[in-house]
Amino acid sequence: MATVGEVFRRSLPETIDQVRDDSSSSSELHVLAVDDSLVDRKVIERLLKISSCKVTAVESGTRALQYLGLDGERASVGFNESSVLREIPVVVMSSENILTRIDRCLEEGAEDFLLKPVKLDDVKRLRDFIMKGDGKDGGETRIHKRKRQDDYASLSSPSPFPACDPSSPLMPSSSPSARSSKRAKLRNKD
């Protein structure tokens, strides 16, 4: 029973080096969509393409890391250690409306949480939000920037959250008011 996610990326690089070198931001979002269901991959791919995003759809977290060039043994840095990859907004999708899990996702730095089945309006709203958030104000609108491992030297690390890269434990950040507004928004989905 996998929890799935999407990773949004602004540029269209093929390797991590290209991500670092790419200083210009293209207007098209490139989304790395992760879902273990073939049906859902096909749907999310179409939803994103119709919303003018470039899409790469993969079937698992492992494949996602491989695509990003972070495969296990070969990776010299984890998803959150890389200063470039840390900037990539992460959106979590799940068919289960479990508030504690949603809260955890948001606390650990997810940009948003989408309840499946995902609708066209959800994707459009999200894309607009992400497009507005990045750029000149460099993620100021992003409420929970994911932190680096060394930022937490003095804190104890919790067990890795299953939806994210298990090799880089994520830490909760504060801002409960932002979380509660997101929570309220998600509750209304019922």
Partner 1 sequence: MEVGQMQRRLIEYTKSLFMEGILDDQFLQLQQLQDESNPDFVVEVVSLFFQDAERLLNDITSALDQQSVDFPKVDAHVHQLKGSSASVGAQRVKNGCIAFRNFCEEQNVDGSLRCLQQIKQEYYHVKNKLEALFRLEQQIVAAGGSVPMMELSF
CB 26 within 8 A of CB 11: yes
Binding-site member from 14, 24, 39, 76 for partner 1 (CB under 8 A)? 39
155 interacts with partner 1 by CB under 8 A:
no
Show the binding pattern over residues 63-102: x = contacts partner 1 (CB under 8 A), - = does not.
--------------------------------x-------
CB 20 within 8 A of CB 29: no
Q: Give whichever of 46 and 145 is closer to partner 1, judged by the CB atom.
A: 46
Give the helix/strand (H/E) hosting 17: helix 16-21
Segment interacting with partner 1, rule: CB under 8 A, options 75-83, 99-107, 117-125, 134-142: 117-125
Segment interacting with partner 1, rule: CB under 8 A, options 45-53, 66-74, 134-142, 168-176: 45-53
DSSP string, 124-181: HHHHHHHHHHSSTTTTTT-S-PPPPGGGGTTSPPPPPPTTS-TTS-------HHHHHH
Q: Give whichever of 22 and 36 is closer to partner 1, judged by the CB atom.
A: 36
Question: What CA–CA distance (Å, rounded) separates 96 from 83?
Answer: 31
Give the helix/strand (H/E) hosting 5: strand 4-9
| Binding interface with partner 1 (CB under 8 A) | 1, 36-40, 42-43, 46-47, 50, 95, 116-117, 119-120
